[in-house]
Amino acid sequence: MVEGDGGLGRWQVRTDLALEAHEEAVRRRSVAGVDVEERRHGGVSVQSVTIRDEEAARRIGKPPGHYVTLHAPGLRRRSRRHGREVVALLAEELGRVLDLDESTSVLLVGLGNWNATPDALGPRVIERVLVTRHLGEAVPPELRGQLRPVAAVAPGVLGLTGMETGEIVRGIVREVRPERVVCIDSLAAQDPDRLCTTIQVADSGIRPGSGVGNHRAALTRETLGVPTIAVGVPTVVHAIAIVESSLRTVTESFRGRGRWGDLVGAFGDDEGDRAFLRRILSPKLGELMVTPKEIDLLVREVAWVVGGALNAVLHPGIDLSDFGEYAQ
Amino acid sequence: MVEGDGGLGRWQVRTDLALEAHEEAVRRRSVAGVDVEERRHGGVSVQSVTIRDEEAARRIGKPPGHYVTLHAPGLRRRSRRHGREVVALLAEELGRVLDLDESTSVLLVGLGNWNATPDALGPRVIERVLVTRHLGEAVPPELRGQLRPVAAVAPGVLGLTGMETGEIVRGIVREVRPERVVCIDSLAAQDPDRLCTTIQVADSGIRPGSGVGNHRAALTRETLGVPTIAVGVPTVVHAIAIVESSLRTVTESFRGRGRWGDLVGAFGDDEGDRAFLRRILSPKLGELMVTPKEIDLLVREVAWVVGGALNAVLHPGIDLSDFGEYAQ
Amino acid sequence: MVEGDGGLGRWQVRTDLALEAHEEAVRRRSVAGVDVEERRHGGVSVQSVTIRDEEAARRIGKPPGHYVTLHAPGLRRRSRRHGREVVALLAEELGRVLDLDESTSVLLVGLGNWNATPDALGPRVIERVLVTRHLGEAVPPELRGQLRPVAAVAPGVLGLTGMETGEIVRGIVREVRPERVVCIDSLAAQDPDRLCTTIQVADSGIRPGSGVGNHRAALTRETLGVPTIAVGVPTVVHAIAIVESSLRTVTESFRGRGRWGDLVGAFGDDEGDRAFLRRILSPKLGELMVTPKEIDLLVREVAWVVGGALNAVLHPGIDLSDFGEYAQ
Amino acid sequence: MVEGDGGLGRWQVRTDLALEAHEEAVRRRSVAGVDVEERRHGGVSVQSVTIRDEEAARRIGKPPGHYVTLHAPGLRRRSRRHGREVVALLAEELGRVLDLDESTSVLLVGLGNWNATPDALGPRVIERVLVTRHLGEAVPPELRGQLRPVAAVAPGVLGLTGMETGEIVRGIVREVRPERVVCIDSLAAQDPDRLCTTIQVADSGIRPGSGVGNHRAALTRETLGVPTIAVGVPTVVHAIAIVESSLRTVTESFRGRGRWGDLVGAFGDDEGDRAFLRRILSPKLGELMVTPKEIDLLVREVAWVVGGALNAVLHPGIDLSDFGEYAQ
């Protein structure tokens, strides 16, 4: 998301959700080369977006690949009963994209800054997953033998280490040689209702400028040499995005409120107006993030869900009722 | 700041800074009963706002009292050289309002939620102050005897304890009987440029709905029975406030951009428009907070400044060059 | 445990376990006024020690009261299956001593220093319990209405706050007026096999010099004015205790190893020898603690057990399978 | 230190301090091939041990190399005035062994487990060093241009990641290609007086079984391909070592206490007795660690000293009076 340049002129990655990027594209009438499917399970919608070619990728501003998006507004209520349903659905989607046999080794990478609540999702998930590659003391005895080799690391961010996340992860992957890499990261969205309620699984890995942090090096199959899955959850909205969508709400609400409203109502559909808008707002809002007040509780909740789903798909030997327990 | 009601109709406390509240009042032409003074020291402006009576308090939306506001934009650069200047200025202002003799006992209260970065300022400051009331092992030997009795506590927030901060602090004050109470809290501002660059010292204590957290019970001389000073630093802006100020910026920028701009330019001066605006935005933005991306580093920096200033004014026996060291 | 005096001459509280104190007394042939019962459940032994009068209390070095001790060596293996059995047994014992009706309000107090792993048990348990007194956002919706008023606090230690834990807790109790207080604390034991495998529930509260920390003020029914239950888990052994018991092991092992062994074997039964021993070892060992290498994992595990048992007994509305989940 | 085997038969690495290993060797009359020098600065002794050849290494149980040991008992008092002297002395010794020019790049590696206080020294030091390799936002402006490229990482331990520290560090070194590696680790000592008062700098890196943690892979010039310096601070003593040294104290004290004492006094000089001793004590004490009660404060203090010294030697541009500040 927002780079050092304050995000100026980076409209198309103002959101990290392929779904939102696609909706945006739809608003701008450009969807060729993109397949979208949707189904529902109880209170959860599962949408899958496939970006088929570079041309479509360019238009949508996301790399080609398969993106599955779970939207579970109920997570905001932090009900564990609902949480378990989401864990099961996410585990199912992860299983499909990870395509594991019993012994496939996996490296989990928790991206982000453990010191900044909205960016701490990755590290928090890492604290909750069962690492087994070392068959060490951390494994409860009743699970011995049922566990695939799983390693996990939270590499931190540039400001903490002086090193690109990509350098650290690439180095570890070359030494440890996992057969799959799963990166967990905090994302930016456009719609605040998606914060900590939407989980995106992508087989295209992580690209520069994605996430709440600032990863300049890509973590993808190309750069790491193994299938690299990204699990992302929006935890922030850029201030500019909030202002833009609010402005849209406002102008729409003003429509028909007399002569003045009609004219205001005209605002925002014109690209020139929007570029102008971004130019005047960026200096003040460029580096600002928007999060829910209870972001710490929401990040903890969604880390429990993602951690539980990873444990479930990586260690099917674990009985579902134990999710919450191991995912601590 | 934002209460359970999503802040609807609480426009006048959309900011916790008396200075901003006063500026707002000025915009709305109502300043009787309020004195404002300003002076500068290098890159730091020190403004003092005195709200003389209940009538003025009602108009400005802040209780009567004396408010000193240091504005040090340089803190954003996190330069320790500049930080030391701010420490010295803040110590001077704290000394004036605390009015201590050698043996005056002080209780420091770090308000807020240590799990949520923008709300963690209070607890972070508490980690950095020198507690001495117990003459315990934590005191470096060369300081023995020069230290007034200082106690410190971070009582947490309602969601962590199930208890009002006010209940906990009142209970502790009744047992420990300090002669002064200093509450450190994270605040909400309207102008993002004030985040982690402005420090407000108020002799009116903390009132309901102040701070990033949600304190229903007041911490004031009236409720605690001893002079109660509040040290507050804005770490968030309400999303609605960002949208409103951005809208103002936008409309002003559009002024003169032809017929359409002139009309848009008309927006925002009319109270009806603004009430309408808040009514349509609150449902979506009510609970959203805006913070700088590097909020964790900024909170750490300003906690170092506030902790250092408190150590300096409470323990003048400590040589200035030791600030940074003890304020760890 | 070890006081400022380095524990010199405090032999009788070298252990915080009434059971060990009693065994010690038995070794020294003085058990009148003490009742001991034992039963077993699977791998867990449940022993109950009742100290009937002051005379017996003086001999054993523990205040009169009822002490239940669960010993579950399996906790060392950190098996959640076994953990759940211990949670259920502990909940049963807590229910007996707490004697709650549906609406009895409870304050949980997590004693100890969150910065020192072996002393962090209390604060870790507090992080895992469901606080409900405020009916706040932290309560999952499906539980609303089924939850008694529970508050929780980790008051820290003297070195962090400058205040006695007793002062803070007394102050809070007077404001909040709970009907029960439960203090969770880290203890010192004599036998390393008891570390993080034994849980003691006592209706006599916490006394000076108990726990890993250094609480000078008692937390008891007398001082707090409400029934005060102590839940303690040994996490350390004093270095002197280790040396003394090792010396006993050694001398016993040497018995019969020829003339020299016979004589060494004579050591340790004589009080004079033991006093001499403590006198020469205290200067070097007085402030030293012994813990298992994996103490962080063990404290986390036993905090999960104690937190789960407290949630179970305080909120019977929660289905057992949710323990692990809420006790996060 | 203690491996999975409970340390049985690993007497020679019961201490990680070359100095203690040498003293032990002296006790057993075998010091050929070892040079020892000592000098004093105020309250600090600086001893340098050079192990010249494999033969001497085998005898002492430490690899060949140069070991400098600062012993500063004053650190226990946590006086910052004294701390600054130790920072300066340590910086001087580090400068000698690191042999840097202005632009030499350095990777700092904080070994150990951030969740276990005595093992958290490495990670705590990493939090306090100034990382500059990325020239990122974390660098105060007045220092720009004066800073060599410094990166830093705390790789965690096997139980947290499922990966050997050596795998992670080797991978990172291959990607980042620093010209020096400095590993900071917690050590085990024999003499409790050395805990958090002694700092060892070694040019031989870290070997299997060193440190409080359990590193099976070596971090040395041979394995990493660049000069690798180890900075170690004892934070624990093995329980067995405490018992053994106490036994020695006891037997010496008993000498001359009549017929019985004379005989006890004979104990411990005989290798057979000592092997027997370890065999009977290991099952119970093998995995037990001994630490001072206030270990959290002591680790924080010595992390401040080591972090300050590293900042001073790596960034000579920083004025000494700023140590404490940057080393936060």
pLDDT in tens, D44-98: 999 999 999 998 888 888 889 999 999 999 998 877 778 889 999 999 999 999 9
Provide the token pair at B38: 């300003």
Nearest by CB to residue D159, choosing from A136, A170, A171, is: A136
Whether C166 is in a domain gets the answer yes
End-to-end CA distance of chain B: 29
Contacts of residue D192 in chain C, CB cutoff 8 Å?
239, 284-285, 288
Whether B134 is in a domain gets the answer yes
Please indicate if any CB of chain B lies within 8 Å of the CB of A247.
Answer: yes
DSSP assignment of A99-134, as one string?
---TT--EEEEE-S-TTSGGG-HHHHHHHHS---TT
Mean pLDDT of chain A: 82
- Window from A52-56, A163-167, C91-95, D140-144 with minimum mean pLDDT: D140-144
**DSSP-derived secondary structure letter, D118:** G
Residue in chain A closest to C320 (alpha carbons) equals A321
Tell me if A140 and C78 make a contact (CB, 8 A cut-off).
yes
> Both D177 and D301 in a single domain?
yes
Nearest-CA distance from C71 to chain D in Å? Answer: 17
| Closest listed residue to residue B289, CA positions, set B235, B239, B234, B233 | B239
Whether B150 is in a domain gets the answer yes
In the block, tokens 């490229």 appear at D149
Return d(Cα D4, Cα D113) in angstroms, integer.
17
- Window from B62-71, B134-143, C221-230, C283-292 with minimum mean pLDDT: B134-143
> Both A193 and A263 in a single domain?
no
Give the pLDDT score at B262.
52
Q: Is B216 helix (H, G, I), strand (E, B) or coil?
A: coil
Nearest-CA distance from A137 to chain C in Å? Answer: 8
> Both D107 and D203 in a single domain?
yes
Give the pLDDT score at C212.
58
> Both B259 and B306 in a single domain?
no
A43 Cα distance to chain centroid: 20
Whether D2 is in a domain gets the answer no
Whether C163 is in a domain gets the answer yes
Q: B165-176 vs C165-176: helix axis angle to the nearest 10?
A: 120
> Both A154 and A253 in a single domain?
no
Please indicate if any CB of chain C lies within 8 Å of the CB of D158.
Answer: no
Return d(Cα B144, Cα C161) in angstroms, integer.
17
Return d(Cα D71, Cα D58) in angstroms, integer.
25
Give the pLDDT score at A153.
96
Confidence of residue D303 (pLDDT cuts 50, 70, 90): very high
Nearest-CA distance from B293 to chain C in Å? Answer: 26
Helix (H) / strand (E) element for A29: namely none
Return d(Cα C187, Cα C14) in angstroms, integer.
10
Whether D306 is in a domain gets the answer yes
Contacts of residue C142 in chain A, CB cutoff 8 Å?
79, 81
Q: Which phi and psi (to 5°) does residue B41 adopt? A: -130, 105
Q: How many domains, in total, are found in chain D?
A: 2
The parent domain of residue D203 ranges over 18-238+296-314
Residue in chain A closest to D216 (alpha carbons) equals A134
What does chain A come to in residues? 328
| Closest listed residue to residue D293, CA positions, set C241, C296, C237, B130 | C237
Please indicate if any CB of chain B lies within 8 Å of the CB of D249.
Answer: no
Are D211 and D186 a contacting pair, CB within 8 Å? yes
C29 Cα distance to chain centroid: 25
Provide the token pair at D238: 């093995």
Confidence of residue A275 (pLDDT cuts 50, 70, 90): confident
**DSSP-derived secondary structure letter, D66:** E
Tell me if A153 and D161 make a contact (CB, 8 A cut-off).
yes
Please indicate if any CB of chain C lies within 8 Å of the CB of B310.
Answer: no
Please indicate if any CB of chain C lies within 8 Å of the CB of B150.
Answer: yes
- How deeply is C37 buried, as exposed, middle or buried, from its count of CB atoms within 10 A (0-12, 13-18, 19+)? exposed
What does chain B come to in residues? 328
Whether D201 is in a domain gets the answer yes
Q: A239-254 vs B239-254: helix axis angle to the nearest 10?
A: 70
In the block, tokens 């060193």 appear at D210
> Both D120 and D210 in a single domain?
yes
Mean pLDDT of chain D: 82
> Both A183 and A259 in a single domain?
no
Residue in chain D closest to C241 (alpha carbons) equals D243
- Give this complex's ipTM: 0.85
Tell me if C77 and A297 make a contact (CB, 8 A cut-off).
no
Tell me if B80 and D326 make a contact (CB, 8 A cut-off).
yes
- Name C213's Cβ contacts closer than 8 Å, sequence gap at least 6: C111, C112, C113, C119, C157, C158, C165, C185, C186
> Both C267 and C144 in a single domain?
no
**DSSP-derived secondary structure letter, C274:** H
Tell me if B325 and D80 make a contact (CB, 8 A cut-off).
yes
Return d(Cα D313, Cα A160) in angstroms, integer.
20
> Both A192 and A143 in a single domain?
yes
Residue in chain D closest to A127 (alpha carbons) equals D160
The beta-strand segments (E) located in A25-82 are: 34-41, 44-51, 65-71
Give the pLDDT score at B214.
52
Please indicate if any CB of chain B lies within 8 Å of the CB of D304.
Answer: yes
Confidence of residue C318 (pLDDT cuts 50, 70, 90): low
Confidence of residue C271 (pLDDT cuts 50, 70, 90): low
In the block, tokens 């405490």 appear at D242
Nearest-CA distance from A176 to chain B in Å? Answer: 32
| Rg (chain B; Cα; Å) | 20
Q: Which phi and psi (to 5°) does residue B119 adopt? A: -95, 5
Tell me if A136 and D162 make a contact (CB, 8 A cut-off).
yes
Return d(Cα A176, Cα A173) in angstroms, integer.
5
Are D184 and D122 a contacting pair, CB within 8 Å? yes
**DSSP-derived secondary structure letter, C101:** -
Q: Which phi and psi (to 5°) does residue A195 adopt? A: -65, 120
- Name C101's Cβ contacts closer than 8 Å, sequence gap at least 6: none
Helix (H) / strand (E) element for A247: namely helix A239-254
Are C165 and C157 a contacting pair, CB within 8 Å? yes
Whether C304 is in a domain gets the answer yes
Mean pLDDT for the stretch of residues A4-14: 36
Please indicate if any CB of chain B lies within 8 Å of the CB of C140.
Answer: no
Give the pLDDT score at D29.
66
> Both D79 and D155 in a single domain?
yes
> Both B119 and B208 in a single domain?
yes
Interface test with B, best of C134, C147, C157 (most B CBs within 10 A): C134
Mean pLDDT of chain C: 82
Provide the token pair at D162: 């499922």
Amino acid at C159: G
Residue in chain A closest to B191 (alpha carbons) equals A284
> Both C252 and C206 in a single domain?
no
Provide the token pair at B199: 């420090």
Residues 39-98, chain A: which have Cβ within 8 Å of D? none
